[in-house]
Amino acid sequence: MKRKNKMKRKIKVREKRIGVGPFKILGLVIALMLGVLFAGASAYLTSEGMNRIRNSPYFYVKFLKING
């Protein structure tokens, strides 16, 4: 009987390069910068709003009476 040589064949895998053009990179950088700007502005406006509410005479409690 003849034995067949059962060597595994090497399969060639072609690597596909992902084309990242300059405009995609620029778009990602702009999106990241806008996100950071939005997050910073939101944090600043929230803290400033809380300070204004605390120091507002409209929300000043002059007297508090609890019965019962």
Could you tell me the pLDDT band of residue 2, with boundaries at 50, 70 and 90? Answer: low
* Structural contact between residues 53 and 59, judged by C-beta atoms closer than 8 angstroms: yes
Question: Mind listing the pLDDT tens digit for each residue in 36-63?
Answer: 999 999 999 999 998 888 888 887 777 8
Give the CA radius of gyration of the chain: 33
CA distance 48 to 57: 16
The structure's pTM equals 0.52
pLDDT of residue 40: 97
Q: How far are the Cα atoms of 16, 26, 31, 32 from residue 19, in angstroms, in the given order?
A: 9, 14, 19, 20
**The two three-digit tokens of residue 5, written as one number:** 């040589």
